[in-house]
Amino acid sequence: MENKQYDSIIIGAGPAGLTAGIYLSRAKARVLILDSGMAGGQIILTHEVANYPGFESISGYMLAMNMKKQAEKHGCEIKTNAQIIEYDLQAPLKQIKLSNGESYTAKTVILATGGRSRKIGAIKEDDFAGRGISYCATCDGDFFQDREIIVIGGGNSALEEAVSLTKYASKVTIVHMLDQWQAFASAVDEMKENPKIDYLMNSKIVEFVGQDNLAHVIIEEVATGKRYAKKIDGVFIFIGYVPNTEEIKGLVELNQYGEIIVDAHFKTNLEGVYAAGDSIVKRYRQITTAVSDGTQAALNVLEYIKQ
């Protein structure tokens, strides 16, 4: 099939990739965005976004579609459900091949593959994502004002977020499947000193139950296998984060967690290859930080193309 050439190919149509596409296409660069699923990334699973500037409240899906329409309006070509089978990122002219036989080349590539929160694998976990289950306290904490919630996890993130969520929730119960914490002693002490927090050790949630929204969970005691139901308004899961970098492992430099290593200009170890968004090494993962990454990566790509 005919090979099509672009100034930049962006891998991933989440907030970082779409923002990069908007900036590049507005500068009259020829841009192709490829995504293995649908445009929007993780935010399409978010029922309501209330901390994105300019919108008092908007659904994650609508925010994603607005970004997509804006990118297309400025000239971005976007292909969803695109299964990449081969990357050639070493050559001056980068090449991407798809499973349908299509092939594309570009002077630059921006890896904006995003990531995903690690799931616990309980029954109906996917069904209640955004409808009682959250993986982001900053995003969704204020939706649980004066409600009882559960936090799953035993590391620093889980304990720190549990304390943070007490600003909203009337009670927070931490459910941890081990008999000891994986967090720093200071985090454990702060958690134990908070009167709104209780915890269940050697326990795990095996099923989420409800109709339109989460109503209760089934908890199993690890040692005995005994199960019981607990009524709850929401569950926050903090057991780790997984960057979507499996397909590019060995192509660009990653850290021990599989995150893409970039410099201050969002450049990877390969010439002409940049990265942005939740797949890079960073501390905070929010829609606004992804948008910022996409902006900076695009501006650096434009400078690289000019040179």
Which residues are known catalytic residues? 136, 139-140
Q: Which two tokens stand for residue 149?
A: 């919630």
Q: 226 burial class (0-12, 13-18, 19+ CB within 10 angstroms)?
A: exposed
Among candidate residues 303, 288, 299, 291, the one with its CA nearest the CA of residue 53: 288
Half-sphere exposure of 187 (CA within 13 A, CB side): 15
Amino acid occupying residue 26? R
Task: Determine contact, residues 43/65, Cβ cutoff 8 Å.
Answer: no
Could you tell me which residues come within 8 angstroms of residue 290 by beta carbon, excluding any fewer than 6 positions away?
14, 15, 16, 19, 41, 112, 114, 276, 277, 278
Other beta carbons less than 10 A from residue 283's beta carbon: 5
What phi and psi, each to the nearest 5 degrees, are found at residue 39? -65, 145
Helix (H, G, I), strand (E, B) or coil at 95: strand
Long-range pairs of 120-127 with CB within 8 A, sequence gap ≥ 24 = 120/152, 120/204, 120/205, 120/237, 120/239, 122/204, 122/205, 122/206, 122/207, 122/208, 123/206, 123/207, 123/208, 123/218, 124/207, 124/208, 124/209, 125/208, 127/208
User: What's the CA gap between 257 and 87, in Å, rounded?
Assistant: 21
